[in-house]
Amino acid sequence: MPHFPAPLCSRLPTVGTTIFTVMSRLAQECGAINLSQGFPDFNAEDILFERVAHWMRAGHNQYPPMAGCLPLREAVAAKIGTLYGTRYDVDTEITITAGATQALFTAVAACVHPGDEVIVFEPVYDSYVPSIELAGGKAVRLRLAAPDYRPDWTAVAAAITPRTRMIMINTPHNPTATVWQRTDLDRLAELVRGTGIIIVADEVYEHIVFDGVAHASCAAHAELAERSFVVSSFGKTYHITGWKVGYVVAPRELMAEFRKVHQFNVFTVNTPVQLALADYMADASRHAGLAAFYQARRDFFRSGLAGSRFELLPSRGTYFQLARYDAVSDLGDTAFCEYLTREVGVAAIPVSAFFADGHDDKVVRFCFAKNEATLATACEKLDAAFGTA
């Protein structure tokens, strides 16, 4: 009698549908304003679409090089050189990816072996830990405490062991909208000095830092750049999240390992879109003006909720705003977000979804990457339900 394998055992037994999909689906079902998932409700400039069409009509519709189209890698190198003073080699140290999530997954898959430990900071973006676990690694979770959500470097030092292979950081931080400073990177560099620990720096909101503060990039920190994968996103920068195009830079030894995986889990990315993005990046004002663009929306949204009983936490970067709601409800944050969506008509994300144990500070996340008319209507609904009157 033939021997059959045992029934399939899930590689990710505790993973369900991502909270972003759940809340966006509920918003659609209820006809609610979707301030949950992080995407704009406005278009990029027409010139970007025209450049995509141009390269399609010009016949650039076949496979590009595995590492990405050379003009786009050159544009990325020029941008990083101008902003951060670091020169990455376009042939060996820059790879175009199918979005930032793929870049993060591939970096983990390329470097983490079974039994390795990877330090992450909670609340943690939901793709990190599954990537680690699929590679056979163990996620070591360190908590960023509300309301400041700052790293505790003493706790980080205590968490580092001989099995620590990687530390994954995210600044500006999703979901908390906090921003690390140069002093944070200096402290991180001290802790990993003399080790083989690799840094994965998720910097997809690098251009969305507010109030005149400069983004502290691992690419600009000479000591960390030598051991870091630095990941960014064209989707976040140019309002085209559905195109799923990003990039990663790293020293050539790390990038060689990255590309070994990249060539088999994606191989390469949409050719005409890459060439169009290269054209579009020639005007640096398109990313240089992003902070002011989103700061105006942040300020508009915060002023619209000034009369409510929400406690608005600082939003120093990203296009997210955290709000503590304990003055208006005793519900847990997931139940409160469902109530907001069904009864108030505005969808948000419960921050407890970013904690493995569902830790609940009664804080929700709103996305303000929306037209002012959308934000104004959302604020009206929220003020009507939770105003001071």
Query: DSSP secondary structure string, 66-115?
Result: TT--HHHHHHHHHHHHHHH-----TTTSEEEESSHHHHHHHHHHHH--TT
Q: Which residues contact 355 (CB under 8 A, 6 or more apart)?
A: 122, 123, 124, 143
Assess whether 97 and 37 both reside in one domain.
no
Report the percentage of the chain scoring pLDDT > 70.
99
Assess whether 314 and 179 both reside in one domain.
no
Q: Are 297 and 372 in contact (CB under 8 A)?
A: yes
Is 12 a domain residue?
Answer: no
Residue 51 pLDDT more than 60? yes
Cα angle for residues 95, 201, 44 (degrees, 5° grid): 65
**Confidence category of residue 7, pLDDT binned at 50, 70, 90:** confident
Assess whether 179 and 219 both reside in one domain.
yes
Domain stop point among 255, 285, 315? 285
Calpha distance 354→78 (Å, rounded): 35
pLDDT tens column, 102-123? 999 999 999 999 999 999 999 9
Which residue's structure tokens are 């908390």? 176
Calpha distance 62→353 (Å, rounded): 40
SS3 at position 346:
strand
Q: Are 52 and 79 in contact (CB under 8 A)?
A: no
Residues 8-28 have a mean pLDDT of 88
What is the domain-level CATH number for residue 128? Answer: 3.40.640.10
Is 322 a domain residue?
Answer: yes
Residue 228 pLDDT more than 80? yes
Calpha distance 352→318 (Å, rounded): 19
How many other C-beta atoms are found inside a 10 Å radius of the C-beta of residue 161?
Answer: 9
Q: Beta strand pairing status for 363-367 and 138-143?
A: unpaired
Assess whether 193 and 309 both reside in one domain.
no
Domain stop point among 285, 312, 332? 285
Domain stop point among 249, 266, 285? 285
- For residue 285, what are the β-bridge partners? none
Residues 350-354 have a mean pLDDT of 96
Q: Which of 160, 173, 82, 58 is nearest to 118 (CA)?
A: 160
Assess whether 133 and 210 both reside in one domain.
yes
Q: Which of 17, 129, 126 is nearest to 353 (CA)?
A: 126
Q: Which two tokens stand for residue 187?
A: 């402290």
pLDDT tens column, 138-172? 999 999 999 999 999 999 999 999 999 999 999 99
Assess whether 35 and 57 both reside in one domain.
no
Is 13 a domain residue?
Answer: no
H or E segment to which residue 193 belongs? none
What is the domain-level CATH number for residue 328? Answer: 3.90.1150.10
Q: Which of 218, 213, 162 is nearest to 188 (CA)?
A: 218
- Residue 2 pLDDT: 63
Is 111 a domain residue?
Answer: yes
Assess whether 196 and 250 both reside in one domain.
yes
Assess whether 164 and 260 both reside in one domain.
yes
H or E segment to which residue 3 belongs? none
Q: What is the number of domains present in the chain?
A: 2
Is 5 a domain residue?
Answer: no
Full domain range(s) for residue 261 = 46-285
Calpha distance 377→160 (Å, rounded): 47
Is 8 a domain residue?
Answer: no
Give the CA count within 13 Å in the CB-facing half-sphere of 296: 7
Q: Which residues contact 159 (CB under 8 A, 6 or more apart)?
A: 119, 140, 142
Q: Is 360 exposed, middle or buried (0-12, 13-18, 19+ CB in 10 A)?
A: middle
- Residue 39 pLDDT: 87
Is 154 a domain residue?
Answer: yes
DSSP state of 218: G
Say what the pTM is.
0.96
Assess whether 381 and 322 both reside in one domain.
yes
Assess whether 156 and 30 both reside in one domain.
no
Assess whether 122 and 169 both reside in one domain.
yes
Assess whether 242 and 345 both reside in one domain.
no
Is 2 a domain residue?
Answer: no
